[in-house]
């Protein structure tokens, strides 16, 4: 009989560990989505500025990041086309207006996904709290 109790305790511990792992994975996903949303918002703001540049007119000067330790000073550039990462390292050339529409769509999808992740996170958190509570009560 003592063996069965020990097995039950191990099962509850495994459940808690599984829930903790799920919780951590969801927290990581939530953090990545929050960073992605901030990046998309910044890109959309930049595209809004580029839309105001007259066609064929150069804008600048500006700094272009090239890696973690280097920036290039660009005296002027055309703003007629941009490359948009569509995922999977696939880029599409678009005008600033089209890119802004695409990034706005991506932003909305990211916000919806963040909402789903956070809802699941709350469920896992409740299950984890309950599992820990039950485990501590049975351990007494």
pLDDT per residue over 7-43, tens digit each?
555 666 778 899 999 999 999 999 999 999 999 999 9
- Render the burial of 25-41: b for 16+ CB within 10 Å, e for the rest: ebeebbeebeebbeebe
Give the pLDDT of residue 100: 96
- Crossing angle for the helix pair 96-138 and 2-51, to the nearest 10 degrees: 160
> What whole-number distance in Å separates Cα of residue 84 and Cα of residue 100?
9
Beta strand extents in 75-116 (DSSP E only): 77-78, 82-87, 90-94
Report yes or no: 75 and 8 within 8 Å, Cβ to Cβ: no
Side-chain-side CA neighbours of 93 within 13 Å: the count stands at 3
Give the pLDDT of residue 8: 55
Is 5 a residue whose pLDDT tops 90?
no
Whole-prediction pTM: 0.79
Domains of the chain in start order, with CATH, are 2-52+81-138 (1.10.287.370)
Report yes or no: 84 and 94 within 8 Å, Cβ to Cβ: yes
Higher pLDDT, 14 or 47: 47
């Amino acid at each position: 009989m003592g063996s069965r109790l020990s097995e039950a305790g191990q099962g509850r511990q495994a459940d808690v560990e599984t829930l903790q792992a799920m919780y951590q994975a969801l927290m990581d996903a939530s953090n990545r989505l929050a960073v992605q949303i901030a990046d998309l918002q910044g890109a959309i703001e930049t595209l809004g500025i580029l839309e105001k540049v007259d066609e064929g007119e150069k804008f600048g000067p500006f700094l272009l990041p090239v890696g973690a330790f280097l920036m290039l000073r660009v005296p002027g550039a055309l703003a007629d086309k941009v490359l948009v990462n569509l995922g999977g390292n696939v880029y599409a050339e678009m005008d600033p207006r089209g890119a802004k529409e695409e990034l706005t769509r991506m932003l909305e999808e990211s916000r919806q996904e963040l909402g789903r992740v956070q809802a699941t996170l709350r469920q896992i958190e409740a299950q984890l709290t309950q599992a820990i509570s039950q485990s501590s009560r049975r351990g007494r």
